């Protein structure tokens, strides 16, 4: 009898997870989420956002039941999607040491060495995988006639800062030392990434400056990158609490990645975790005066910085590490960055990271090509081959990347 009761109780719990949770998530998010009027296909974005929130909610429930972490669950579901094939591209799964990678090579032979693209996928360090960005790499390989290497770094919550950049650095160095094996021109290697992967691209360009024995990176492609954790009151932070990167997701990613207790979240957002001298030091690079006025028209208001909380500074000082905030590297480093394509989206919480990086490079004489998508949002590129969930602006981004690479 007791066993039967436990069985019924288990069925009720599972039923609640499978039926009740989707109803709650869709009722909460489908009509209440803020979708800017200028975004095309708003209903599609509402649906896409609800799927994302549902997977996170299921994952958090499983995490609290000590079954698996939220990140593990979301990645597991994402990786259930079958991978597309293209007769013109050969895809090979490899390991560089312990790091899984996917190699994409044009099937047709070439009498000359090809360009090489090292790709670091996004996902905030929680989400994303070699599979979620497979379509992007497949298109990139085929349309730019390049050898593409996608790196599958370790993720949170099990692996925190600086594991992501360490894994990507190790795999990139392995690739750079083996270019002849893959038919890649040593003078035509490009690093490319979206979101946290865009930040990794910048960090690695800076770190590889200390490796003169390796081929020099020819160019960088940074797609709505995450480039610092020092200011959460910038114009885009205030104006863009929209899918697919709402504020609560940003906070969770930063805090978990740096192993910072969530109790310090308020101090980080208000700026109370940074001493006045540090804020003043970086004002020349991060000051909101560096953001063009056209990106401040949807509700931005300058806010006073709260007084310093010494305890918060001690607990959160990892945000000052250049591996976490490459945007504030010194001029002598930033001036040596390779030519860049910077992709930004109007409705992105991290938009100002792209705008500030663009200005820093241009001020130092580094060539920059800028692609800004007026109806874009964070993460939109992954929809480029998603059928019903495809957003037209993702194709604009892909075309810009391909044209930039082919023009090098």
Would you place residue 20 in the very low, low, confident or very high pLDDT band (cuts 50, 70, 90)?
low
What is the reported pLDDT for 19? 55
What 3-state class would DSSP assign to 149? Answer: strand
Would you place residue 17 in the very low, low, confident or very high pLDDT band (cuts 50, 70, 90)?
low
Is omega for the bond preceding 361 within 30 degrees of 0, making it cis?
no
CA distance 367 to 365: 6
What is the reported pLDDT for 21? 65
Note the pLDDT tens digit of each residue in 223-273. 999 999 999 999 999 999 888 888 888 988 999 999 999 999 999 999 999
Could you tell me the two tokens for 230?
């020092």
Domains and CATH numbers, the chain: 2-78 (no CATH), 88-408 (3.40.50.1820)
What is the reported pLDDT for 59? 85
Given the structure tokens 């001690």, which residue do they identify?
314
**Averaged pLDDT score across all residues of the chain:** 91
Indicate the range of 8-17, 48-57, 131-140, 226-235 predicted with least confidence. Answer: 8-17
What is the reported pLDDT for 52? 86
Is omega for the bond preceding 162 within 30 degrees of 0, making it cis?
yes
Question: Quick one: average pLDDT of 85-104?
Answer: 97
4 pLDDT more than 90: no
Note the pLDDT tens digit of each residue in 174-216. 999 999 999 999 999 999 999 999 999 999 999 999 999 999 9
Note the pLDDT tens digit of each residue in 313-370. 999 999 999 999 999 999 999 999 999 999 999 999 999 999 999 999 999 999 999 9
Per the CB < 8 A criterion, the answer to whether 218 and 408 are in contact is yes
Indicate the range of 6-20, 95-109, 226-240, 369-383 predicted with least confidence. Answer: 6-20
What is the reported pLDDT for 243? 83
The neighbour count for residue 54, using CB atoms within 10 Å, is 17
What is the reported pLDDT for 23? 59
Q: Catalytic site residues?
A: 195, 348, 378
Enter the pTM of the model: 0.93
**For the purposes of burial, counting CB atoms within 10 Å of the CB of 263, is it exposed (0-12), middle (13-18) or buried (19 or more)?**
exposed
What is the reported pLDDT for 136? 97
Q: What share of the chain is helix, strand, coil (3-state, %, to 5)?
A: 50, 15, 35
Note the pLDDT tens digit of each residue in 375-402. 999 999 999 998 888 999 999 999 999 9
32 pLDDT more than 80: no
Question: Quick one: average pLDDT of 151-172?
Answer: 96
What is the reported pLDDT for 66? 87
CA distance 228 to 327: 6
Note the pLDDT tens digit of each residue in 241-251. 888 888 888 98
Question: Quick one: average pLDDT of 136-157?
Answer: 97
Give the H/E segment covering residue 100.
strand 99-106
Residues 6+ apart with CB under 8 A from 64: none
């Amino acid at each position: 009898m007791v066993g039967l009761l436990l069985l019924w109780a288990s069925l009720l719990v599972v039923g609640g997870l499978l039926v009740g949770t989707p109803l709650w998530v869709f009722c909460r998010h489908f009509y209440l989420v803020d979708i800017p009027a200028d975004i095309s296909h708003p209903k599609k974005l509402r649906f896409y956002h609800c799927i994302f929130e549902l997977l996170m909610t299921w994952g958090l429930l499983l995490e609290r039941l000590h079954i698996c972490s939220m990140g593990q669950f979301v990645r597991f579901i994402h990786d259930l999607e079958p991978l597309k094939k293209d007769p013109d591209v050969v895809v090979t799964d490899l390991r560089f040491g312990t790091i899984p990678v996917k190699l994409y090579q044009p099937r047709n032979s070439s009498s000359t060495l090809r360009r090489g693209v090292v790709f670091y996928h996004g996902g905030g360090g929680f989400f994303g995988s070699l599979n979620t960005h497979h379509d992007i790499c497949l298109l990139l390989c085929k349309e730019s006639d390049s050898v593409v290497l996608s790196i599958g770094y370790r993720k949170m919550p099990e692996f925190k800062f600086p594991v992501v950049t360490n894994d990507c650095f190790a795999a990139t160095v392995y690739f750079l030392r083996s270019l002849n094996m893959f038919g890649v021109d040593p003078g035509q290697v490009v690093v490319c990434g979206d979101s946290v992967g865009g930040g990794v691209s910048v960090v690695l360009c800076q770190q590889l400056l200390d490796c003169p024995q390796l081929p020099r990176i020819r160019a960088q492609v940074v797609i709505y990158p995450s480039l610092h954790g020092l200011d959460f009151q910038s114009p885009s932070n205030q104006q863009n609490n929209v899918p697919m990167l709402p504020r609560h997701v940003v906070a969770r990613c930063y805090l978990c990645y740096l192993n910072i207790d969530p109790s310090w979240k308020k101090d980080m957002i208000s700026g109370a975790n940074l001493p006045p001298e540090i804020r003043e030091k970086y004002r020349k690079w991060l000051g909101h005066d560096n953001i063009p006025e056209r990106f401040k028209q949807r509700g931005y208001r300058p806010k006073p910085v709260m007084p310093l909380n010494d305890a918060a500074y001690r607990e959160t000082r990892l945000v000052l590490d250049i591996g976490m905030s490459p945007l504030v590297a010194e001029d002598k480093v930033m001036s040596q960055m390779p030519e860049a394509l910077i992709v930004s989206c109007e409705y992105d919480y991290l938009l100002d990271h792209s705008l500030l990086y663009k200005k820093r490079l241009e001020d130092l004489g580094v060539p920059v090509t800028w692609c800004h998508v007026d109806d874009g949002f964070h993460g939109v590129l992954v929809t480029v081959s998603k059928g019903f969930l495809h957003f037209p602006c993702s194709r604009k981004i892909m075309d810009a990347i391909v044209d930039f690479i082919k023009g090098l």
